[in-house]
């Protein structure tokens, strides 16, 4: 099985996005973001990263050869069903893109659920992301999955069922992994795109929803 290279997150990557303090809607009400309006999502336009809400999607482009970058919504959730639609528009298929959840911006801690244009999955967590390497929680770094619609202009739906320490991950309604982990119990949501040696990864995200789980 082919494996993807490990990419260490460079300190300061998050600073491509403007710092933004927002009060979230909490974890008790359903959340739906269609990106029809800019809202509270962080945006940026620079030589290496462009992330903008436009034309009903979050449009995310990485122009550096090996870079990981993300944006967050300024919300706060705990247990819930997290879901987002992601479409690779152009660029090399050797990439990574997906969702963050239970994000602590002050500590740069979060869970990550990523896929790639060439059919791989990465499920893990970042602790103190500017200083430490990411840690996989399912499989050995990247692993292949037939659930992924590969290549440009293919839309994939990512979903996470997060209830306490029990996390179950789905791509296009097919389970691709599950784990028990209690590192992070609540936090913000976000979107991530990464290049793995070649620039020009362009991904559009839409319909990010969080459905609370009643205990």
DSSP string, 16-60: GSPP-------SSS-EEE--SS-TT---EE-SSEEEEEETTEEEE
What percent of the chain has a predicted confidence (pLDDT) above 90?
Answer: 76
- Residue 196 is part of which domain span? 28-212
Residue 98 or 23, more confident: 98
Let me know if residue 66 belongs to a domain: yes
Let me know if residue 18 belongs to a domain: no
Let me know if residue 11 belongs to a domain: no
Let me know if residue 7 belongs to a domain: no
Residue 72, pLDDT above cutoff 80: yes
CB atoms closer than 10 angstroms to residue 16: 21
Q: How many domains does the chain have?
A: 1
* Cα radius of gyration (the chain): 15
Pick the range with the lowest mean pLDDT from 17-21, 115-119, 147-151: 17-21
Q: How many helices (H) and strands (E) does the chain have?
A: 0, 15
46 Cα distance to chain centroid: 20
Residue whose C-alpha is closest to residue 172's, from 184, 160, 162, 159: 159
Let me know if residue 19 belongs to a domain: no
What pLDDT band is residue 104 in, cutting at 50, 70 and 90? very high
What's the rounded mean pLDDT across residues 140-162? 97
Q: Which two tokens stand for residue 120?
A: 């791989």
What pLDDT band is residue 11 in, cutting at 50, 70 and 90? very low
What pLDDT band is residue 214 in, cutting at 50, 70 and 90? confident
What pLDDT band is residue 21 in, cutting at 50, 70 and 90? very low
The CATH number linked to 57 is: 2.60.120.560
CA angle 209, 200, 170 (to 5 degrees): 30
Let me know if residue 14 belongs to a domain: no
Let me know if residue 156 belongs to a domain: yes
What pLDDT band is residue 215 in, cutting at 50, 70 and 90? low
Let me know if residue 187 belongs to a domain: yes
What's the rounded mean pLDDT across residues 36-59? 93
């Amino acid at each position: 099985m082919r494996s993807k290279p490990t990419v260490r997150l460079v300190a300061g990557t998050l600073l491509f996005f403007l710092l933004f303090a927002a009060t979230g809607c909490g974890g008790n009400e359903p959340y739906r973001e269609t990106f029809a309006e800019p809202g509270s999502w962080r945006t940026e336009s620079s030589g290496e990263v462009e992330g903008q809400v436009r034309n009903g999607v979050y449009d995310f482009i990485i122009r550096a050869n090996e870079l990981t970058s993300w944006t967050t919504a300024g919300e706060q959730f705990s247990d819930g069903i997290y879901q987002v639609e992601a479409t690779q528009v152009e660029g090399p298929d050797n990439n990574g893109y997906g969702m963050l959840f239970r994000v602590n911006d002050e500590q740069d801690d979060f869970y990550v659920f990523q896929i790639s244009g060439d059919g791989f999955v990465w499920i893990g967590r970042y602790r103190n992301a500017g200083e430490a390497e990411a840690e996989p929680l399912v499989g050995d770094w990247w692993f292949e999955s037939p659930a992924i619609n590969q290549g440009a202009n293919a839309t994939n739906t990512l979903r996470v069922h997060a209830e306490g320490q029990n996390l179950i991950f789905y791509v296009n309604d097919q389970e691709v992994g599950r784990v028990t982990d209690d590192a992070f119990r609540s936090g913000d949501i976000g979107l991530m795109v990464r290049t793995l040696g070649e620039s020009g990864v362009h991904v559009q995200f839409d319909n990010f929803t969080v459905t609370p789980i009643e205990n």
